Amino acid sequence: MDPYTITTSFFCTVLLPLLLLLTALKLWELYCLSRRDHESHLPLPPGTMGLPFFGETLQMVLRRKKFLQMKQRKYGNIYKTHLFGAPTVRVMGADNVRQILLGEHRLVTVQWPASVRIILGAGCLSNLHDGQHKNMKRVIMQAFTWEALENYIPVMEEEVRSAMDLWLNSGPCVLVYPAVKRLMFRIAMRLLLGFHPEDMSPEREQALLDAFEEMTRNLFSLPIDVPYSGLYRGVRARNVIHAKIEENIKEKLKMEPETSGKDALQLLIDHSRRNGEKLDLQALKESATELLFGGHGTTASAATSIITFLGLNKGVVEKVREELESKGLLSNQPGERKDLSMDILQQLTYTGCVLKETLRLSPPVPGGFRVAQKTFVLNGYQIPKGWNIIYSIADTHNASEVFPNKEEFDPDRFLAPLPEDSSRFNFIPFGGGVRSCVGKEFAKILLKIFIVELCRNCDWELLNGPPVMKTSPIVYPADNLPTKFEPFNSTL
């Protein structure tokens, strides 16, 4: 082969594709940067925009924790990127996040990635805006009043005790994360959607839970709806869930409002009846799906983290038991067992600190999404109108200077109030502002009950030690947390 042929072949097979790639990358970067606000003289945040169209979505999905840590080390608490098909600014740090969360309807508004909006639907609370959001939130909040929560406690206790009895009789190993997900799913089905235990066989319950798993795994996908894509699988799983919820809605419609239970779904139905509105079945299915997603996924993540941190810190378990003993709550004997109430749970100060410390170190939801309604300034950078904003809960907790020895699990840090000059946005496990989690009091009560029942019924050992945590999109242990449970005898 002559030198000319070799040179031509090398140019066509190596240099030309490389030049085209570099040109495409440069054009992509120029296109992304052209979407800045040219009327502002302030710079964009530092960062990179990744590959054409894909941006840095694949790196974030495949290498989430390492990718985000690398970005923060390199660019700090505010940086630009391109995720889920849109130019994005990622924000962390209490003061920065405060400006985002308190800027709702003024600087920013909620806008989840396209895949989330498609799968969860436009009718659910997290995708509503302004008056629609305010009205639906007011209706749903009726399911989380003090009186409603008080009425939920017996069901929560019943389900948690039943699950723990099963774990204690399941041999030398329980995979905690799947077991806790099933527990929290049953509680959410009963209390938020009004299902009765006899409504579903274990097989049908598991099938519905599996559908939720598939939907959750594919919530954050590239917005490409083709067979076997993440979005395609997520929508198919969502349809399975909607079909079951539709059955439940139709059963509720046969009941008179005054004779039906006041779960969150029933409240939404009754609200439409009272206002003479035409019942929007699709919106109800979307709202119910969102309630189930938020009501069991996040609490399952937090409860798994509780088992993890308490399993690794036996001294904390002893302090919880001392508090329970001081309130007459430690006995787990049937004739001596003292039932819980809202008043009693409010008195469990140290137990509440254990929950707070768990949520500080391992918030179930790592962050939230907004979109800039207009160009504004954040810490000296311009945030252009139309750009997506991701605020980070987990990294804001990690970056906070108000928590000394922040890597340690130390519930005692919450026994004293935070310093007066510190922002309350240093600790935001449930978000903040008008978009804070509507079910946060429900979650706090449920998780407190979980801690109480765990500590007065069980001793346990993490068989693999501290787990590696993953996010998809909720935080969970990669090994499902294999654990050995044994009965705790409070009389010894």
| Per-residue CA distances from 307 to 129, 471, 486 (Å) | 37, 18, 13
Of the candidates 471, 395, 371, 429, which has an alpha carbon nearest to the alpha carbon of residue 114? 371
- Answer yes or no: are the C-beta atoms of 423 and 95 closer than 8 Å: yes
Phi, psi of 296 (to 5 degrees): -120, -35
Phi, psi of 223 (to 5 degrees): -75, 60
- Answer yes or no: are the C-beta atoms of 390 and 368 closer than 8 Å: yes
Most distant pair of Cα atoms in the chain: their distance: 96
Amino acid at 285: K
Taking the C-alpha atoms of residue 354 and residue 368, their distance in angstroms, rounded to an integer, is: 24
Amino acid at 301: S
Taking the C-alpha atoms of residue 50 and residue 203, their distance in angstroms, rounded to an integer, is: 44
Of the candidates 468, 451, 486, 489, which has an alpha carbon nearest to the alpha carbon of residue 160? 451
| 12 is known to lie in a ligand binding site | no
- Residue 447 burial class via C-beta count within 10 angstroms: exposed 0-12, middle 13-18, buried 19 and up: buried
- Answer yes or no: are the C-beta atoms of 394 and 366 closer than 8 Å: yes
Amino acid at 361: L
Residue 322: HSE in the Cβ half-sphere, 13 Å Cα cutoff: 8
Q: Give the start-end residues of each E strand in 204-320.
A: none
Report residue 305 as tokens. Answer: 């983290």
Name the DSSP letter for residue 91.
Answer: E
Taking the C-alpha atoms of residue 257 and residue 271, their distance in angstroms, rounded to an integer, is: 10
DSSP state letters, 94-158: HHHHHHHHTTBTTTEEE---HHHHHHH-TTSGGG--HHHHHHHHHHHHGGGSHHHHHHHHHHHHH
Q: How many Cβ atoms sit within 10 Å of the Cβ of residue 185?
A: 21
* Measured distance between the N- and C-terminal CA atoms of the chain, rounded to whole angstroms: 89
Of the candidates 160, 125, 289, which has an alpha carbon nearest to the alpha carbon of residue 214? 289
Specify binding-site residues for heme.
Answer: 437
Specify binding-site residues.
Answer: 437
